[in-house]
Amino acid sequence: MSQSILLLDYTREQLQELMTSWGQPAYRGKQIYEWLHKFLVTDPQQMTNLPKTLRERLASETYINPLELILQVDDARGETRKALFRLPDGATIEVVLMLYNKRRTVCISTQVGCGIGCPFCATGQGGLTRNLSPGEIIAQVHWFERWLREANSDSEGLVVERPTRVTNIVVMGMGEPLANYEATMQALRAIADPKTFALSARNITLSTVGLIPKIEQLAEEDLPVRLAVSLHAPTDRLRNKLVPINKRYHLPKLIHALVRYQEKTNRRVTFEYAMMRGINDSVEQAELLADLLAPIRKAHVNLIPLNPTPGSPYQPSSEEAVRRFQAILERAGITTTVRLRRGVEISAGCGQLRQAVQQPEVLKFIRE
């Protein structure tokens, strides 16, 4: 790509500085920022209140959309769409749009791959390639927002009345968001900017495996996003195997950090618990989890029947085991929901579609 500047990487203030360095009035940066984040243009020629010479320079030296669609698949119920994108350097990432009644939720990625190494996760199995830039994170939301804003409906695919817009964002795609802290926070601030994209920060949920220093930093931010912790085990012995970062940030330290987070922010913390048959779904483990979360005020547990990767020894718990586990937590006073399994047939679990394009037999099954 000949253009070297991804405009979505720039904050409003940085665009003003760029325009000043180009000999333009600083307010041109504000105008460009509005075109990018409010009107979601992808071509500088659409920025009609800019001088022609400036639009031409933007077209020759910058670009707006870093995403090239490789593959897009919808589930049979018309509720989930998963897209695999190629970035300018050839790296690939996944993004998912999920429809829940009146909610249109986009699940976004923050890294190419992931360095945490959870053995049940397709992304973790592939390792970390690099962090995404702020603009590469923002572009994922913009992609589906443009589609939702369009008035015409697909002849087949997702069942949704348009025009509409994204209502929720979950930062639960590829990567550990807090390991790419600055870029992730810049992207979320742009999405929550009340003057442009204007999605409420309270409709954004950020998921982490529990990087304690970054949780402490997040508590100091004035951006009230919701925090979810990928827990998956009630003991250090098991969590060390399922979430290897636990060897550095043991469960007692993590729970203590989350208590401090609540004291600082007064926000509820959600815990994600992927239910794996015969591994973490016993009655004893449910009771241990209830004890572990006792210090957390208004803790909420989201039980997630696992979306397995092909050939993996990690398989989803039975419905009976999930309900039994849920009942034990609720008897302990912990509110619990069971997440609907979405997009199993289209490999909607994190990293699965990206993995599948490297396995033709799996990809053929998905497309059929």
Q: Is 94 a catalytic residue?
A: yes
107, 114, 118, 350: the catalytic one is 350
Separation CA 314–CA 224 (nearest Å)? 34
Task: Out of 94, 136, 145, 272, pick the active-site residue.
Answer: 94
| Sequence letter at residue 365 | F
Judge whether 350 counts as a catalytic residue.
yes
Q: Which amino acid is at 65?
A: N
214 Cβ contact list (under 8 Å, min separation 6): 178, 179, 181, 208
- Three-class DSSP labels, the chain: CCCCEEHHHCCHHHHHHHHHHCCCCCHHHHHHHHHHHCCCCCCHHHCCCCCHHHHHHHHHHEECCCCEEEEEEECCCCCEEEEEEECCCCCEEEEEEEEECCEEEEECCCEEECCCCCCCCHHHHHCEEEECCHHHHHHHHHHHHHHHHCCCCCCCCCCCCCCCCCCEEEECCCCCHHHHHHHHHHHHHHHCCCCCCCCCHHHEEEEECCCHHHHHHHHCCCCCCEEEEECCCCCHHHHHHHCHHHHCCCHHHHHHHHHHHHHHHCCCEEEEEEEECCCCCCHHHHHHHHHHCCCCCCCEEEEEECCCCCCCCCCECCHHHHHHHHHHHHHCCCEEEECCCCCHHHCCCCCHHHHHCCCHHHHHHHHC
Say if CB 92 and CB 82 are below 8 A apart. Answer: no
- Residues labelled as active-site residues: 94, 350
